[in-house]
Amino acid sequence: MWYNATLQPSYMIDDGQQDFSFTGLNPDVIANGLAQVGVNPQSGLLALNSYENRVYQYLADDNQRYVAKFYRPARWSDAQILEEHAFCAELAAAEVPAVAPLVLAGQTLHTYQGYRFAVFPSVGGRAVEPGDLGQLERIGRQIGRLHAVAQQGQFQHRPTLSFQEFVTDSMTTLQATELLPRNLQPAFWAIIEPLVDYLRTVKWDSFTTQRLHGDCHLGNMLLRDEQLTFVDFDDARSGVAVQDLWMMLAGDDRYERTLQLQALVDGYEEFCEFDKNQTQLIEPLRSFRIIHYMAWLARRWNDEAFRRAFPWFAEQRYWEQQILTLKEQFAAVQEEPIDLEPNFNR
């Protein structure tokens, strides 16, 4: 699909051999790092809901709230992080509501005792309700605005969403993990391997790619005073446009999902043309996410924060449910894709 071997040298492949830990990141290190760039928290550091990185909200001496994001060591190169920052700044300059890092001491990326971090303005808001067609059309409009800017340039350092990373590398991790119960292994491999074989047949290279948010779901959009704001571009990468749309769909009813996607596309096409052939990639991309998510948890299992947050990952019932999910997903990828009619009656 979108795999580009030239990206490999700069992309920090998580092969289990690198130190991805935060063992040395204590409150003194955080406070001293912020002080180094002229930031003086006047409140305690409130840890926000983030597992891949460490993210803290605080009240500064200017009586404004900010968020400090400490990047997981060895995951991204400096060039990749700076490209994420530049993309956010480009969107903000085009008046697309996206939270961009602050420029402090002349730069956005800072380092203290080996930890890289950035400071962002704190943006409040509430989560968007799933399934609301009017809201989905509005979200589609905002994603269309984002993509209109994204299509004006290309990433040079960020990775491209690929079968290699999301499936092949994930399968290697799952084959090595000891967390998959031995008694469930035959059933697990009997369903995931045919799914992977099917995903390999998808003609990924026939679709145009572009810059993306990369992890565009309702949890990464905030609604406040009727304004929708994009947050968390940590997984920004190149890929097909529908990657930033499909995670907005809710529920299992095909008719309802068709209505939802049509609402998204109606809003989207006010700013960008949508290739409706990409609807055939929705279920394969969902498969990518299911497989990659299992591997991500397995890779991070030595991080105590993951064990506390996802204790069920090591339980028999989780893997039993995953076998059922994979069976359903294998059936889903073989169904006809959603058909968006130009005059679909909503």
Catalytic residues: 215, 232
Instruction: Centre a 10 Å sphere on the Cβ of residue 308 and count the other Cβ atoms it contains.
Output: 9
For residue 5, what are its two tokens? 């071997």
Which residue, 122, 105, 104, 333, is CA-closest to 229?
122
**Cβ burial, residue 51 (10 Å; 0-12/13-18/19+):** middle
Cα separation, 288 vs 274, in Å, equals 21
Cα separation, 310 vs 301, in Å, equals 9
The CB-side HSE value for 45 (13 A sphere, CA atoms) comes to 19
Which residue, 190, 184, 238, 182, is CA-closest to 214?
238
Q: Are 113 and 24 in contact (CB under 8 A)?
A: yes
Helices (H), 169-253: 169-176, 185-201
Which residue, 195, 200, 153, is CA-closest to 3?
200
Residue 202 is classified by DSSP as S
Cα separation, 176 vs 297, in Å, equals 13
CB neighbour list of residue 40: distance below 8 Å, 6 or more residues apart: 34, 60, 61
Total number of residues shown for the chain: 346
220 is in an annotated binding site: yes
Residue 160 is classified by DSSP as B
Cα separation, 237 vs 136, in Å, equals 23
Binding site members: 220, 232
Known binding-site residues for Mg(2+) equal: 220, 232
